[in-house]
Structure formats: structure tokens, C-alpha cells
Chain A
Amino acid sequence: MTMLKTSKVSIVFGGLKAVSNFEIDIEAGDLVGLIGPNGAGKTTVFNLLTGVYKPTTGQIEFDGKSIVGLKPYQITQQGIARTFQNIRLFADLTVLDNVKIAYHFHVKYSVLEAVSRLGRYHSEEAEIEEKAMRLLEVFQLADRRDEVAKNLPYGEQRRLEIARALATEPKLLLLDEPAAGMNPQETHQLMEMIRWIRSEFNLTILLIEHDMSLVMGVCEKILVLDYGSVIARGTPLEIRNNPKVIEAYLGEEAAGC
């Protein structure tokens, strides 16, 4: 079953074509990597998929429905969650509140029920707290629940961001450089975790990464982006031996050797 399908998606900023004719086809359950040199347009692709930017041309279909023109929050409600390259936690809130906020759009009680504390308020609040705690336990953050997010060590902040994204209960998870700033050991743990959350939460994952060991180790399909265009796609092995990719990363001469 196709989860995400884009056709000829392009976006132009002034005279710069940041992404041109981007095509991707992600099946449910896939774990796809999006790589490319700095400035290739990877994050722009994420911003297009999540509604931060509207494509100049092209079509994006998620779960069989077009999501072009939807606001970011509507796309999240459709089932696409993301993390950010530069961590964007709710820095001054506790770890628990960070996750609770992500459950917000699943909440059914009204403002009146909240203010009067009648109706579904108590039961739903209890449910949110329980779900959030379960998620924190999975990410080994349960004992940090009352810590302010900005005080967490870097690796835990990254984990919290993923936990928060999962709290929206997505079908497709977009990870923007999840291993940025991690040491090799942490990266290795992250790899294990990404595989595990995919099966545990029944997810489809698209990730951007610079760390080749992570991408090659965890992704089944890889897309290589350079100057806004897809220059190669295939399995890790195919990508590794693709002369175009080597050229994009290492320059022409190196590819020639």
C-alpha cells in the first residue's frame, strides 16, 4: 500500500529552484533515507511534506489524499509527524508536558468541560498522562518527567523530540538528522531504536541523515538529493557504488579514480 507519493514537486524561492521534480513513493512500513550534500534541499523536502512550504508545482498524496495546501497542523492531524534538525522542544516546559501537548489534538473534551472540570475532563486527562508516561518509559525518560526540557543532555533532548513526535500517533514519521551531534555509540543506539520503534509503533519512516553508517545500516531504500534533484535511488549497496553519488559527495576526480 502506498503511504506517501509525490509527483513532480518543485519549489522556487525567487530565482532559486530549491527542489525540482521531486518524486518519492513510500510504501507502508518502509524505512527510507534521504541523503545529499549540504544545501541539497533535504530539509526543504521535509518542509514541503509537512506543509511549512507550499510546492510551486506538483502533487503530494498521503494515504491516497492530496495534502497540498494544508496547514502544518492539519498535516500532523492526518498522520505525519516530524522532528527538527535544530531541536525545537518546548524548552521551558517539563518533559512530561512536552509529550502531553502532542496528544492535544486527540483530546475530545471542550473548553467548557475543561473550565468546569466536568464531563470528560478528568478521564481524558488521566488517559493522556498515562499514555505520555508509557511513551516516556519506552524512551527511558520516565524518571526525567519533571525535568525542564532544556536541562536535558543533548542526546535525551533528541530522544524526547522523537517521543513527542510519536505522541501525535502518526503513520509516517519524518526524522530530520536524528543523529546530529551524537557520538558513534549514541548513533548506534539510535539505529537500534529507529528499527525498534518502526515495528513497535507500526510506522513508516523517512529520515534525513549525514551519518552514513546510520543511513546505510538502517535504511532499506535511499534517495540521494543534489542541487534539488534526485540523482540516485536504490538500496544502500546500489547507492554506495553509484558513481553519480560519489561525485556529488567527493567531487568529479575522486569519482573518476
Chain B
Amino acid sequence: MRERTKKDLIFLFISVVLYAIFEGLMLTGFIPPYMERSIVTICINIILAASLNLINGITGQFSIGHAGFMAVGAYVGAIMTVKFSLPFIVAILAGACASALLGVLIGLPTLRLSGDYLAIATLGLGEIIRIVILNISYVGGASGFMGIPKDTTFTWAFFVMIFTLLFIRNFVDSSHGRACIAIRENEIAAEAMGVNTTRYKVLAFAIGAAFAGVAGALFAHYNYMAHPGSFNFLKSFDILTMVVFGGLGSMTGAVTGAVVLTLLTFLLADIPELRMVIYSLLLIILMLYRPQGLFGSRELSLKMFTRLLGGGRRDNA
């Protein structure tokens, strides 16, 4: 048990060091201001990928409507700061709660579906959310929600991301998380072992949706505005691609996927003609040579390094 606390502390320590490095580089101007945008975007994308991974990778419920939950968080958060002049933290929490609530409401009926049926239902759902927002003039309708204060800073994005990662990892590494994994592995057996499968599917869906909402709130408060077009199904696929790229079911995979693909998008921004070509080629190559994603369902750990250094031998316990 002390092992677990030690790991938590090491993780927190590394995060603080990372934060200090990045913040230092930004303050001294080594990282130019335009690069700050990509770093904040990476943080937001990590939150999105990690939360989708909880639904798709850990619980095995293939959802592709994540942008919809992000939109709910963005708009509810923006309403809090713009219309009610409430502090930013309230906006984030309200976004999370609204998304989670919607996740539960939508999860209860749709999570009876499985596989491709669930995928199509969630895809439709994301679009419904977007189109509903598009038609609410209270939040700006098709022209977008303007005048949102720019409250999201690197500090906010970074520490909210750390909180998200810790939350989801600790959840997965508990009996509740194991119940979710059991559902992914074999739903019938999970039920026979006394796991209330509906409850845990909806719970995972709600937690995932909540953090998508958090990411949405951060996103809206970074871009001065929220526009329904930012939350279309392509955004959902972007997040899904990050998770699959890193390896479904692996938290470190989701983080890596978010970092690599976001950076790639920024690097390729200079050559717009070839951007999507290179991006898609890379994905095709990955799927051909490593269909399970970079990490498979494993986590990056010290053990993994020693195994790699040991010539890839599998040590039989």
C-alpha cells in the first residue's frame, strides 16, 4: 500500500517539476507566446483523451460522441462566467456537472446497446447536442458564444490535467475500476461475479463525460468564444484517434497519443497541402504495424523499460 502512495507522490513531484520547467521557459521567453497555445491545447487534449479512454478503453463501451460532452461543458461554463459573472472555477465545475448529468441521462438508455450500435448512437448524440446549441440564441446560436473571458492559463490547464489523470488512474486502480475492466473483458462473466454492469457502464460514461465537460470549459475560456463548429463529429474522431493511437485501455497511451498528435498537427500547420496526407499516412502505418496502438493496453512503467533493455525477453514469474 505504501507502494501506491509512493507512486502518487513521485507522479506529483514529476508534474510539479515539469510545470516549473515549462513555466520558467515561458517566462524567460525560451518558449515563444505562440507556442504556449499548443502547450495549453495539448493539456486540454490530454484531458479529453484520458476521459474517452475511461469509456472506450477501460470499460470497453465504444463511444464516439465525446465532442458533444465537451460542447456542453464549454457552453455551460461560459454561461457561468459571461451571464452570471461567476468565478472560473465555478464555470469548470458547472461544466463538469452538466456534462456528467447529461452522460447519465443519455447513458442509461444507450448503454444497453453494444459495439457498433452504441458507436452510432453516441455519434448521433454528439451531433444532436451540437445542433441543439446551434439553435439556442441565448448562447449565440450559429454565430457562436462571444465575449468569454480568457481565464484559462497554462497553470490552470496543466493542473486540471494533472487532477484528471490522477482521478482517472486512481479510479481504475480500485475495485470500481476493476469492475469496469471486467465489463470490457467479459460482460456475462462480470455480471455472474456480482458486478452491476449497468451501474458501472453509466458511472464510467458519466465520469468520462464530466472530464470532457471540464476540457470544454477550459477550451472555451482559452479562445474567447465557443462555436458549435468546434464540437462537430470530426472533433470526436480526433479524440478517438488519440486514444487508439496510444492504445485503447492505456492511460499513458492516451497521454502519448494526445501529445504526439497535437504536436504533429501544429508542426504540419506550415504545410497545409500535405498536412492531412502525412497525418493519415502515419495512422495507416501505425495500424498496419501496431494495430493495438503504441502501448496496447499496457501502461508505461519502469518494468517496461527494463524489459525492453533485457532484449524483449518475457520473464516468467
| A255 contacts the other chain (CB 8 A) | no
- Determine whether B61 belongs to the interface, using a CB cutoff of 8 Å to chain A: no
The total of chain B residues at the interface (CB under 8 A) is: 31
Give A49-92 as 1s and 0s: 1 = Cβ < 8 Å from B's Cβ atoms: 01010000000000000000001110011000110100011111
A93 at the interface (CB under 8 A from B): yes
Contact A102 B193, CB 8 Å, known A93-B185, A145-B317: yes
Residue in chain B with minimal CB distance to A146: B317
Which residues of A, 14-39, contact B by the 8 Å Cβ criterion?
none
- Whose C-beta in chain B lies nearest to the C-beta of A99? B193
Given known contacts A88-B186, A115-B167, A125-B1, A97 and B178 CB-to-CB distance under 8 angstroms: yes
Within 8 A of A (CB), among B160-186: 166-167, 170-171, 174-179, 181-182, 185-186
Chain B residues with CB below 8 A from A90, complex form: 181-182, 185-186, 189-190
Q: Is the CB of B170 within 8 A of A114?
A: yes
- Count of A-B contacts with CB under 8 A? 110
- In angstroms, how far is the closest chain B Cβ from the Cβ of A195? 24
Complex: how many Å from CA A188 to CA B196?
Answer: 36
> What is the CA–CA distance of A122 and B203 in the complex, to the nearest angstrom?
22
Contact B170 A116 (CB under 8 A): yes
Which of A71, A91, A92, A147 has the most chain B CB atoms closer than 10 A to its own CB?
Answer: A92
A102 to B166, CA, bound (A): 25
B176 near A143: Cβ-Cβ < 8 Å: no
Q: Which residue of B lies closest to A128 (CB)?
A: B175
Q: Once the chains bind, are A101 and B179 in contact (CB under 8 Å)?
A: yes
Q: Is the CB of B185 within 8 A of A109?
A: no
- Is B195 engaged at the interface, CB distance under 8 Å to the other chain? yes
Interface membership of B112, Cβ < 8 A: no
Contact of B175 among A81, A89, A91, A109 (CB under 8 A): A109
A-B contact pairs, 24 of them (CB 8 A): A50-B192, A72-B192, A73-B192, A73-B194, A73-B195, A73-B196, A84-B192, A89-B186, A90-B181, A90-B186, A90-B189, A91-B185, A93-B181, A93-B182, A93-B185, A101-B181, A104-B178, A109-B174, A109-B175, A115-B166, A117-B5, A122-B4, A145-B317, A164-B193
